[in-house]
């Protein structure tokens, strides 16, 4: 994922505005996906150190993004005796020692703590307690950013001494455009956008897994052609044949059906324009009430399978119930 894309991230924008207006604090907690943490932390350091608050163009920006700025420190410290991706008291000791030293390249120092893997285990409170004093009495020129997936995993005393910023989902249009710039076809970009729920890392995972596109084509065909019990066998067989990957198919069934609602009611949320003709065909078979009922049936089937109910029974009942709902909730 390129750094430039995160320039429009809500956290980066909020920080840039705060530092421009002099309304910033010294310590922040960033709630974000684990896959975004390192890049997002880098942007935060850039906002602090760049004279233009993150222009992505100057010498300072280039140094920060290349990892060569001498006033940016990443923790956990990979140079410590025990090479681990979890925070330890040794990392905090390193921070406490370094914050006492003068900055090398400017007048500020930035400490970036990726704590996404550091909120579980028996010693999880140790490094946080060791960090409390510096958060309570921060040096004027020292800035600390702590990235976590869920701030509730931090001690309340840590949270109370920091400003918490939560990463918002990326807009669908931005994801499609980003993936298209990466060389994805329009179909793949739309599919990834549909399934990622505003998560760029998840979108990239979908792009990398070519079975998603195959699954979507199969699901669309099944929803279009399964009109009665007489021709339901291919739909049943499809789900049986993908027993080990059935969650993926359930996800896609739900996503496609929800797209039929957006197509009818919220065109601005309709993503699958490359499959518009297919979506229209599905709309003709599934009323709005049927779509809502079927998505509930799919969720129930998923829970039943997770609860070790016989797979074949669950799938057979699911398809039969879908057809019954279609009949009862006709257009």
Phi/psi of residue 287, each to 5°?
A: -70, 170
Q: Which residue has the tokens 């850039």?
A: 46
In this structure, of 11-25, 68-82, 218-232, the range with the lowest mean pLDDT score is 68-82
Does this model's pTM top 0.85?
A: no
Task: State the pLDDT at residue 82.
Answer: 58
What does the domain layout of the chain look like in residue ranges? 3-166, 210-328
**What SS3 state is found at 73?**
strand
Q: 291 vs 120, which has greater pLDDT?
A: 291
Task: State the pLDDT at residue 79.
Answer: 56
Burial of 208 (0-12, 13-18, 19+ CB in 10 A): exposed
How would residue 330 be classed by pLDDT, with cut points 50, 70 and 90? confident
The per-residue DSSP string of 156-222 comes to: HHHHTTSEEEEPPPPPHHHHHHHHHHTT--HHHHHHHHHHHTT-HHHHHHHHH-THHHHHHHHHHHH
How far is the C-alpha of 96 from the C-alpha of 109, rounded, in Å?
Answer: 12
- 210-328 belongs to CATH 1.20.272: yes
pLDDT > 90 in the chain, percent: 80
pLDDT of 2 strictly over 70: no
Rounded to a whole number of angstroms, the CA Rg of the chain reads 25
Residues 6+ apart with CB under 8 A from 267: none
In this structure, of 164-178, 209-223, 242-256, the range with the lowest mean pLDDT score is 164-178
Task: State the pLDDT at residue 81.
Answer: 56
Say which CATH class 3-166 falls into: alpha beta
**What SS3 state is found at 65?**
helix
Residues 6+ apart with CB under 8 A from 42: 3, 64, 65, 112
> Count of alpha carbons within 13 Å of 204, Cβ hemisphere only?
11
Angle at 18 between CA 13 and CA 21, to 5 degrees: 125
How would residue 171 be classed by pLDDT, with cut points 50, 70 and 90? confident
| pLDDT (mean) for 55-62 | 92
How far is the C-alpha of 214 from the C-alpha of 84, rounded, in Å?
Answer: 39
Task: State the pLDDT at residue 80.
Answer: 55
Q: One fold for both 3-166 and 210-328?
A: no
In this structure, of 60-64, 121-125, 206-210, 273-277, the range with the lowest mean pLDDT score is 121-125
The mean pLDDT value of the chain amounts to 92
| pLDDT (mean) for 306-328 | 95
Q: Please give the distance of CA 250 from its chain centroid, rounded to a whole number.
A: 20
Q: 6 vs 275, which has greater pLDDT?
A: 275
Task: State the pLDDT at residue 3.
Answer: 59
Q: 199 vs 121, which has greater pLDDT?
A: 199
């Amino acid at each position: 994922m390129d750094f430039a894309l995160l320039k429009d991230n809500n956290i980066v924008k909020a920080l840039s505005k705060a530092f421009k207006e002099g309304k910033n604090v010294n310590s922040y907690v960033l709630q974000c996906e684990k896959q975004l943490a390192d890049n997002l932390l880098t942007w935060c350091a850039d906002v602090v150190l760049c004279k233009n608050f993150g222009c992505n163009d100057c010498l300072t920006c280039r140094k920060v993004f290349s990892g060569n700025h001498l006033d940016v420190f990443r923790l956990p410290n990979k140079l410590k005796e025990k090479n681990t991706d979890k925070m330890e008291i040794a990392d905090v000791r390193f921070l406490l020692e370094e914050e006492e030293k003068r900055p090398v390249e400017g007048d500020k120092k930035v400490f970036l703590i990726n704590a996404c893997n550091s909120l579980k285990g028996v010693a999880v409170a140790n490094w946080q307690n060791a960090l409390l004093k510096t958060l309570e009495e921060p040096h004027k020129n020292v800035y600390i950013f702590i990235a976590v997936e869920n701030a509730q995993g931090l001690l309340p005393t840590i949270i109370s001494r920091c400003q918490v910023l939560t990463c918002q989902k990326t807009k669908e249009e931005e994801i499609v455009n980003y993936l298209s710039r990466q060389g994805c076809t329009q179909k793949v970009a739309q599919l990834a956008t549909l399934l990622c729920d505003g998560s760029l890392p998840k979108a990239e995972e979908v792009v990398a897994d070519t079975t998603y596109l195959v699954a979507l084509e199969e699901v669309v065909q099944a929803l279009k052609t399964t009109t009665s019990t007489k021709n339901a066998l291919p739909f049943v067989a499809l789900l049986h044949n993908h027993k080990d990957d059935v969650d993926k198919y359930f996800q896609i069934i739900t996503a496609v059906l929800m797209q039929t609602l957006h197509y009818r009611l919220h065109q601005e949320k309709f993503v699958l324009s490359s499959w518009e003709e297919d979506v229209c065909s599905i709309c003709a078979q599934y009323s709005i009430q049927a779509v809502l009922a079927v998505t509930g049936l799919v969720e129930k089937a998923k829970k039943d399978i997770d609860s070790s109910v016989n797979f074949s029974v669950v799938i057979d009942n699911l398809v039969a119930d879908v057809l019954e709902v279609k009949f009862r909730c006709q257009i």
